[in-house]
Amino acid sequence: MSALSYIKQQIIIGLTSRAEYRFSFFLFIFLSVVLGFLSIFVTYAVYDATGGGVPGWSFYEITFMIGVYTFIRGIYEMFFVIRYMPGEIRRGDLDMDLTKPLNLLTLYVRFDIDNIGRLITAFLMFWIAVPNINLQLSLFNILYFIFLVIIGLLAMFAVDLFVITFAFFVTNVNSIQNNLDNIRSRFCRWPMNLYPKSMQLFFTFVFPIIFIGFVPASFFLGKEIIFAYWLSPIIVIILTLLSIKWFYYGVAKYTGTGS
């Protein structure tokens, strides 16, 4: 299969499906951008009410970090929609996916244009934050930052895959999905270094959400984290492979016991 033509067609489908709902689409994007600023608003309120906020981070630095998180989430959820798989399993639609000659994961590479809102939010956050922070600008830093963002995408994938695999065992993973999503977004909105070391290690080696925003932002801001930056790709890649194994274990269970 030509990967390029497949993704190209997915993009066409993604765009065409919104073409008719143009007005509500733009309104939707506008609202999601507004909603995206909620976390910034809360941060602002905290800094406004306390003056000092959180140790080691200024309001703009946190805004930048949330921007990175929002960007990673936006890109990930735009191109990879496996979070809809539990719904398909529940409706019995997964069987149709299994009759296709493509790998199950590949089938969920799509183009979900609704996430454009997130990308816009992220860029607005960068717009606000960047003039007010000290980015350690150098060619190497810029490249490594981009690399860490990609690692963040991979971490997002690993976490997502881990969560939705539960759908193969339990009919309704709604709560699991929602709660873990909730934990992820809440933890990623504040700098991780204000939590005890044990928690930080947990969110590095077990539930690797530390990479989805905090690590790349900290790097670019020249801040220290509890492990060496160069360990990031190693940790994330190992966890991703484990997640994939876990996912296929779930698939085997599903095809063994049926629906």
Partner 1 sequence: MSFNTYYETVKIALKDRMAYRLDFLVDMLINPFVFLIVQFLWTTIYAFNAVSTIQGFTLQETITYFAISQIVGFFVWTWIVGMVGEVIKFGDFARYVLMPVDFFWSMISEAFGNKLPSMLIKAPVLLLLLKLFFDIIINTNPVYLIMFIMSLLMSFLLYNVFFFIMGLLTFWQESYFLFELLGVAALNFFSGALIPLDFYPGFMKTIVNILPFKYIYYSPIMIYLEKFTINESLSILFQQLIAFIILYFIAKLLFRIGRKKFTSQGG
Partner 2 sequence: MEEAQIKVTDLCKNFKTYKREAGFLEMVKSFIKRDYVIKNAVKNINFEINAGERVALIGPNGAGKSSTVKMLTGILEPTSGSVRVLGSDPFKERSKVVRNYGVIFGQKHNLWWDVPAIDSYHLFKAMYDISDDDFRKRLKVVRNNLGIKDYLKTPVRKLSLGERMRCELGLIFMHNPKIVFLDEPTIGVDVVGKKKISDFLLRINKKFNTTILFTSHDMGDVDKICKRAIIINEGCVIFDGKISHLKKEYVDSKTLHLKFNKPLEQKTIFDKEIEKIGTSTYRLIFEKTESVSAFLRKVLGDESKEVIDIRIIEADLNEIIRNIFEGKT
Instruction: Say how many residues make up the chain.
Output: 259
- Report the nearest approach of partner 1 to the CB of residue 21 (Å): 7
Map the footprint of partner 2 across residues 96-155, applying CB under 8 A. Answer: 96, 98-103
172 binds partner 1 (CB under 8 A): yes
C-alpha span between 182 and 177 (Å, rounded)? 8
* Beta-bridge partner residues of 80: 109
- Report the nearest approach of partner 1 to the CB of residue 31 (Å): 5
Q: Which is nearer to partner 2, 83 or 110 (CB)?
A: 110
201 binds partner 1 (CB under 8 A): no
C-alpha span between 21 and 31 (Å, rounded)? 15
Cα-based angle 138, 141, 144 (whole degrees, multiple of 5): 150
- Report the nearest approach of partner 1 to the CB of residue 41 (Å): 7
Phi, psi of 80 (to 5 degrees): -135, 115
Q: Which stretch binds partner 1 (CB under 8 A): 39-47, 72-80, 142-150, 157-165?
A: 39-47
- Report the nearest approach of partner 2 to the CB of residue 254 (Å): 9
182 binds partner 1 (CB under 8 A): yes
Number of residues lying near partner 1 (CB under 8 A): 41
Interaction site with partner 2 (CB under 8 A)? 1-2, 5-6, 8-10, 12-13, 16-18, 20, 92-93, 95-96, 98-103, 252, 255-258
